[in-house]
Amino acid sequence: MEFLARMEPDAISTLYREISGYPTPISAFVTANDYMALLNGTSFTLCTEWSQTETVRGARLHYAQQWTLIQNYRQETDINIQPPSPCSLLHGEFLSSYSLSGDLKAVVRVTSGQVVVQQFLEVWSNRCLKKILDLSALNKHGRVYEDAQFGCLAWSTCESRLLYVAEGKRSIGESYASASSPSAGEPRAGPSEGPSEKDKSVYWEDWGEGLTSKSVPVLCVADVAKGTVTVLQGVPSHVSPGQGLWAHDGESVFFVGWWHEPFRLGLRFCSNRRSALFCLDLEGNCECLSGDTSSVSSPRLSPDGRYLVYLEGQVFGPHSQCLSMQQYDLETRKISVLVDVVNRPKKDEFAGLYEALPPRCWASDSQRVVFSSARRNWRDLFVVDRTTRRVTRMSAPEKFGSWKLLTIQNDLMVVHCSHLNEAPRLVVAFLPLAGGEGEVSWDHLGESCLLGAIVNVLDVSPTPQEENPEYSGLDFGALLVTTNHLPSRTKVPLVVFVHGGPHSQFFAEWNVTTAVLVKLGFAVLMVNYRGSTGFGQDSIFSLAGNIGSQDVKDVQRAVLTALADQTAEKLLTLDPDKVVVMGGSHGGFLACHLIGQFPDFYKACAVRNPVINAATLLGTSDIVDWRYSSVGLQYSYDQLPTPEALTTMLQKSPITYAPQIKAPVLLMLGGKDRRVSPYQGLELYRSLKSRGSPVRLLWFAEDAHSLARVDTQADCFLNVVLWFQQHLYLH
């Protein structure tokens, strides 16, 4: 029996609106209610914030919801969950942070008037608005940073001061075209002075894709009682500060400083930027605590104020790597490795650290750190004991495919869980005593929303001809998702979904695109080729110099494996004559390679901001270093392109296969993409048009690399489905 898709555009949009509207938890904070101690347990208030896509108005809504949780005195792992409060919409909250006691909440609120954007810092108590600072009127800095790379809003332990990061004010005539950058601590002229006539068009660098409004970050301290803001002095002039937090005594701060000399490179999704951990006291004395030849991120201070843990990686090379967790002892001033890089993990063991630590990750004993990280096709929850260096997995993959820690406070862990067939939800549990972390009792908050899909995990090995001789013996994974709502033995079309990066991955977690495609009756194969995170450092390094070949072969091997796995007990049959491919960025690069190298295999292709010609991309990308590293070449800031390097880049690019492409191609391009210029897609568009090949181009002038605007994502999805329906003859 063959599957025929007959849904009209309106029905497809309605289904997308429904499934994309499932909310996602983004943050959590726990407060122990000492005054509400009950006869049978201790009460905790859990405050959560959620994001929900609303396609009618093209908006992402943020709302708050609270739970009361009661811990049983007799059995401390038991939690009595009270009904949640009604959801409340959050208006204009740019940043927010609870004080350590939970009695105060700081909010940076942004309001847009007819002429200017105004910024306010509000402090709320349990009863009312306690203090408000007009940051725009104080005129100490520019826009407050809210991004995950630099941004922070940290309370001091005395709960009287707040630390945050903002854009520094620029002095007249200053420019990064000059030999040295202005110090982050130097006073800068206010906007009212304005640039001189000769300087008004001077170029200022920024930090690239997703950070285009960020150039000169400064550390700022707001004194809540005095109503003042101070820009901290003493930050070294060659670094840009971010990810700040207070020392335990409240007299100094820790921060990460990124080198911005000789010029800035794109920072988002790049854990390989030279940076270090610094300590700055309020008198302006600054000290580098870590080495200065690595990349550093996610500093987190233990509850007793003695230990700092942070992540460390290599500079340059793969843009996202397996990281180590370092521990800095503030008493002995010694650094030790808490979690080392994992080169080649065994199948069911810890596979290394690949993502930022949550803001609150320490157990109350200051002995253990809880974190989430990739493990093959999963995201799991782990705890490391700093005294034994032992890493223990606490998640249960058979229940959820992805476990992401939002917070741990008072040893209560709040985790965002989901699966490819189950929408996001929260689970909570108390961290057992040291040594007992393998037995965690999890409780669910709210009802589950099941998709009605079957998820099969594929472990794929390359053939002997596809092995990498330098890194032999590596395998990789894939996730095959099919519907369970069609009659048995139905033949369904297969969508091959390829992730970008390339050093990222598909987790077995909620994915709106996959969910809607499966609901429409497609099967979706999500491939984690060699070079994906979660499979060890060797897998990541194996891809350098082999893009366009090793990763292409891996995707094709995964597809052939899925098509061959058609045993009698399978409910559905994948139709080998109806295979299409889609992907974005490097995923688009691979999709275009696949339709060029296997021109008769794929019947249609849809790509978002694809890399088409690595040679012509060299001068337009914000991560020029990766353009060299990806093809196996070393990078330095003073590097100039050579004919040999450009030839290597061209030879590894899908544009060389353009004459062989037969599959109709849908291109979706962001006009403001700083990572992959939209003219990459135009290059393929013109090549295909000149040959009379079917091609359609969607241009989103105000979107960047991820095409993240709500209306853009809905538009893209509808066009992708209609494109596949048209060229698979599913009408």
How far apart (Å, rounded) are the C-alpha atoms in residues 610 and 712?
Answer: 17
Between β-strands 523-528 and 476-483, what pairing exists: parallel, antiparallel or unpaired? Answer: antiparallel
- CA-to-CA dists, residue 556 to 365, 381, 548, 561, angstroms: 49, 31, 12, 9
Query: Would you tell me the crossing angle of helices 586-597 and 550-564 to the nearest 10 degrees?
Result: 70
Residue 547's DSSP bridge partners are none
Residue found under tokens 């939800």: 425
> DSSP string spanning 20-81?
HTS-EEEEEEEEEEEEEEETTEEEEEEEEEEEEEETTTTEEEEEEEEEEEEEESSSTT-EEE
Cis peptide before 195 (omega within 30 of 0): no
Residues in contact with 589: Cβ distance below 8 Å, sequence separation at least 6, in sequence order: 547, 548, 583, 610, 611, 612, 653, 654
User: In this structure, what token pair is assigned to residue 679?
Assistant: 């003219």
> DSSP string spanning 644-684?
HHHHHHHHTSGGGGGGG--S-EEEEEETT-SSS-HHHHHHH
Which bin fits 192, alpha (ψ -120 to 50), beta or left (φ > 0)? alpha
Sign of CA dihedral 618, 624, 628, 630: negative
Residues in contact with 182: Cβ distance below 8 Å, sequence separation at least 6, in sequence order: 168, 170, 171, 174, 188, 216, 237
Contact call for residues 324 and 337 (beta carbons, < 8 A)? yes
Residue 523's DSSP bridge partners are 494
Q: Is 436 exposed, middle or buried (0-12, 13-18, 19+ CB in 10 A)?
A: exposed
Residue 362's DSSP bridge partners are 369
Q: Is 248 exposed, middle or buried (0-12, 13-18, 19+ CB in 10 A)?
A: middle
Query: What is the set of active-site residues?
Result: 585, 673, 705
How far apart (Å, rounded) are the C-alpha atoms in residues 674 and 58?
Answer: 23
* DSSP conformation class of 292: S
Half-sphere exposure for 591 (CA within 13 Å, toward CB): 33
- CA-to-CA dists, residue 574 to 485, 489, 490, angstroms: 15, 9, 8
The secondary element (H helix, E strand) that includes residue 584 is strand 572-584
* DSSP conformation class of 259: E
Contact call for residues 157 and 185 (beta carbons, < 8 A)? no
Contact call for residues 262 and 278 (beta carbons, < 8 A)? no
How far apart (Å, rounded) are the C-alpha atoms in residues 316 and 599?
Answer: 35
SS (H, E, C) 322-378: CEEEEEEECCCCEEEEEECCCCCCCCCCCCCECCCCCCCCECCCCCEEEEEEEECCE
